[in-house]
Each structure stands twice: as structure tokens, then as C-alpha cells.
Amino acid sequence: MAESDKIEVEILGQRYIVRSSESAEYVRTLAAYVEKRANEIRGSGAVQDSVRLLALASLYITDELFRLRDEHSMADQVASDRLGALRELLDAVVTDK
């Protein structure tokens, strides 16, 4: 396992130290995305409290993740089904000869 580094990030004016084996640039990109989503929620005027903003941002980001996982799973199933059909066609052609 790769060694973890301490990386400082700032989200909504609050500094956090994150341990990660990923690059500092990558971790800061993640933090920037979280802050962007929190600011989008703040912009709607519904919530101003930082803790609530981050909680809602985490829910929205988790929803994105789950939806992408579902899409990926469905795409994998479609690809698998197509490969199975292709294999059957190839088997039929090879067997006929």
C-alpha cells in the first residue's frame, strides 16, 4: 500500500488536513468540487450553515456516485449481453463449417 501524505485543503473557509496516498493536486481537486457543490446549494438561498451545506453537498455527490455506478453497471450488462450474442453467432458460423 502506498504511503499516506498529509494534505491541507480548505472548504468553505475551514482548513482540513487529509491523509491520502493520492497526489496533493488530486485531493485539492476533490475539495474544490465539494466546495463548488456546497456553494451551489448556498446560492439557492436555502441553507447558509456550513455544516448543513456540507451535509447536503455530500448527499448530492453521493447521489451522483450512485447514479454513475448504476449507469456503469447497466453499460457492463449491455456489453456482456452483446458479447454473448456475438459469441453465439461466431460459434454458429464456426460450427457450420
Summarize pLDDT for 23-82 with one digit per residue, the tens: 999 999 999 999 999 999 998 777 788 999 999 999 999 999 999 999 988 888 888 889
**Helix, strand, or coil (residue 45):** coil
At 3 the pLDDT is 81
This prediction's pTM: 0.72
At 1 the pLDDT is 47
d(CA 22, CA 83): 35
At 2 the pLDDT is 65
Domain ranges for the chain: 5-96
**Helix, strand, or coil (residue 84):** helix
d(CA 65, CA 42): 21
Residue 96: pLDDT band (50, 70, 90) is: low
